[in-house]
Amino acid sequence: MEQKRVYFDNSATTAVDMEVIKEMQSYFSGVYGNASSFHHFGRQSKSALDNARSKVALLLNASPEEIFFTGCGTESDNIAIFGILNAYEKKGHIITSKIEHHAVLYSCKHLEKSGYEVTYLDVDKDGVVSVEDFKKSVKDDTLLVTIMHANNEVGALQPIAEIAAELKKINEIRKDRVYFHTDAVQSAGKLRLDVKKLDVDLLAISGHKFNGPKGVGVLYVRGGTNISPITFGGHHEGGLRPGTENVACIVGLAKALELSNVNLEANNKTIFNLREKLKKGILDKIPEVTINGSGNKAVDNILNVSFNCIEGEALLLMLDMRGIAVSTGSACASGEDGPSHVLKAMGVDDVVAQGAIRFSFGHNNTQEEVDYTLEVLPKVVSGLRLMSPAWKQKKV
């Protein structure tokens, strides 16, 4: 009998929609010219590239000239952070948060070694930074603020527009502008992103998080932003990201972003109902669990739960044996020792954090999959707890 398979790891990556695949197909072998070539084949690819750029710009409420295609969200974040700081040609101060994706955190750690000062803002129990804390952290030599839009482990939404409003006031009385970057990789496809309403200077997204292809991302750069390239080669992407454009995947990203926006409300309602059903079932069926973060201040598709007195990795493996795919946090942090840096920043006890599992939903998930998970999960948790010295001691 074939093993039933349930995929609840959509924050790590998503399946490419069939409409997206269909949109991409002709650009692998039919329309294959280099978009920088002047002949017929190149002009075909250039036209597709221009159309995709215009489509993404429209969906983000930006101008086509402000959209740059990259290889992934990590690359977009790195270009934004290092590109802004390189343009200043002087060392200074950076503000970020303690719950950033490692694409941002590790960049900031590297910059500290290079002589920059970094302030890592605390978050509350729901994983949200304080605007007041941000205001207090700004210094005379602050050059860049980089704070994510939605957290990848608990889904916590950050007050980006509110921070931008405070930063606007600060910039009105400063000589050197403080630029604002947000990693919107986990909010793209779940929320309507409007760069004018968010009022950020730079915004990063990645195609594979909203049912587009892997290996392609976007960096929005507000017009007039002083930014330098961090890699060098040709004139592609306005010289900011040299290298022959991946036209097929860029076309796919644009189509996926379009589809996610068209179906946004319906998808979010479905996903919210699935998340709440799973959460209620877990709380009803399994004792000693902790919900990490508040669904009221988060994207709808993430549920982070700690199962006390067991290891999250052991639970992940046991669920995988029964066909259920989940994660213990960010896929980019897998293999690291110790509890999640996000849960630690939220004040979650280390022992509780060790038992954390992230369930992340997509529009292809079903009620039947939640039912199956609620049938399997209590048995697996109970079995692991029977082997847990901490659980046995707790019950004595």
What pLDDT, on the 0 to 100 scale, is given for residue 297?
A: 87
Lowest model confidence (mean pLDDT) among 1-10, 13-22, 213-222: 1-10
Please report where in the chains the tokens 């369930």 appear, as a residue: 359
Q: Does the structure show a pLDDT above 80 at 395? A: no
What pLDDT, on the 0 to 100 scale, is given for residue 246?
A: 96
Structure tokens at 184: 């919107």
The residue-averaged pLDDT of 51-62 equals 98
Round to whole Å and give the CA distance between 108 and 100: 10
What pLDDT, on the 0 to 100 scale, is given for residue 390?
A: 85
pLDDT band at 7 (very low <50, low <70, confident <90, very high): very high
Strands 302-307, 356-360: parallel, antiparallel or unpaired by DSSP? antiparallel
pLDDT digits (tens, 9 = 90+) for 298-326: 999 999 999 999 999 999 999 999 999 99
Phi, psi of 150 (to 5 degrees): -130, 135
| 3-state SS track over 276-300 | HHHHHHHHHHCCCEEECCCHHHECC
What pLDDT, on the 0 to 100 scale, is given for residue 23?
A: 97
The residue-averaged pLDDT of 251-265 equals 97
Round to whole Å and give the CA distance between 75 and 82: 10
Q: Decide: helix, strand or coil at residue 201.
A: coil
Q: Does the structure show a pLDDT above 80 at 330? A: no
Q: Measuring CA to CA, which residue among 86, 45, 12, 47 is closest to residue 240?
A: 86
What pLDDT, on the 0 to 100 scale, is given for residue 393?
A: 82
What spatial distance separates the first Cα and last Cα of the chain, rounded to whole Å?
41
What pLDDT, on the 0 to 100 scale, is given for residue 302?
A: 98
The single-letter DSSP state of residue 208 is: G
Please report where in the chains the tokens 């007039």 appear, as a residue: 224
What pLDDT, on the 0 to 100 scale, is given for residue 338?
A: 76
What pLDDT, on the 0 to 100 scale, is given for residue 65?
A: 98
* pTM, full prediction: 0.95
The residue-averaged pLDDT of 191-213 equals 98
Note if 108 is an active site residue: no
pLDDT digits (tens, 9 = 90+) for 78-108: 999 999 999 998 999 999 999 999 999 999 9
- Average pLDDT of the chain is 95
Cβ neighbors of 259 (< 8 A, separation 6 or more) are 17, 19, 20, 211
For every residue of 123-143, DSSP letters joined together read B-TTS-B-HHHHHHH--TTEE
List 108, 249, 309, 332, catalytic entry: 332
What pLDDT, on the 0 to 100 scale, is given for residue 336?
A: 59
Percent of the chain with pLDDT over 70: 97
Lowest model confidence (mean pLDDT) among 29-43, 110-124, 300-314, 333-347: 333-347
What pLDDT, on the 0 to 100 scale, is given for residue 295?
A: 77
Is 301 in contact with 271 (CB distance < 8 Å)?
Answer: yes
Amino acid at site 190: K
What pLDDT, on the 0 to 100 scale, is given for residue 392?
A: 82
Cα 85 → chain centroid: 22
Round to whole Å and give the CA distance between 93 and 323: 47
Cβ neighbors of 215 (< 8 A, separation 6 or more) are 71, 72, 207, 208, 246, 249
pLDDT band at 73 (very low <50, low <70, confident <90, very high): very high
The residue-averaged pLDDT of 154-183 equals 96
Distances (CA, A) of 90 to 115, 225, 249: 10, 17, 36
Is 144 in contact with 178 (CB distance < 8 Å)?
Answer: yes
Q: Measuring CA to CA, which residue among 374, 255, 281, 342 is closest to residue 11?
A: 342
pLDDT band at 396 (very low <50, low <70, confident <90, very high): low
